[in-house]
Amino acid sequence: MNPLFGGILGGIGANEGQKLVDKHVHQSPDNEGLFHRLHDTICELLDEMRTIADHYRGLQEPPIDVRIVLQTTKTVPISTRGRKYNMIFSGNNTTQIQAMIPGLGNVPFTPPVGWTELDFENGTELSLVTGSDTTVIFRVTNVPMGANVL
């Protein structure tokens, strides 16, 4: 056998033997395991960064406004269209609205003049408690109510 191959095989054997001694005798952590943990940690960080980037991309989406006519005899289902927040604009403070929220039931409320943040879930149905037909603006957005509602 060539002396070069003997040296290579001896080096590989010594290296693998040292790994076994370190692992079983010295209880040293496996360096390959450390690299796998580092890789997993980097992948987790990348996933978190994607989540943050998606959040900021969502803030750039414009709000969607829909005029809805509320009646006492008919309910209007609302759709969040994938947005996080929803609100209504009412032109008077005497409109008594009833929200039929899935899993909760009927919730009556009287919004003030202007914007009122609702944040109701998809499938909630709105109607009037009393009075004549009233039109309100329903807005869905990824930006919470505040200075950005107009």
pLDDT average, residue stretch 52-79: 90
User: Do 75 and 112 have their domain in common?
Assistant: yes
CA distance 1 to 150: 85
User: Do 110 and 68 have their domain in common?
Assistant: yes
pTM assigned to the model: 0.63
User: Do 127 and 94 have their domain in common?
Assistant: yes
Structure tokens at 108: 């009556």
CA distance 18 to 85: 60
Structure tokens at 145: 């109510």
pLDDT at res. 150: 45
The string of DSSP codes covering 99-150 is: EEETTTEEEEE---SEEEE--PPTT-EEEESSSS-EEEEEEEESS-SSTT--
Those residues with Cβ within 8 angstroms of residue 69's Cβ, 6 or more apart along the chain or in another chain: 76, 133, 134, 135
Confidence of residue 144 (pLDDT cuts 50, 70, 90): confident
- Residue 150 included in any domain: no
User: Do 55 and 86 have their domain in common?
Assistant: no
pLDDT tens digits, 80-129? 998 999 999 999 988 899 999 998 999 999 999 999 999 999 999 999 99
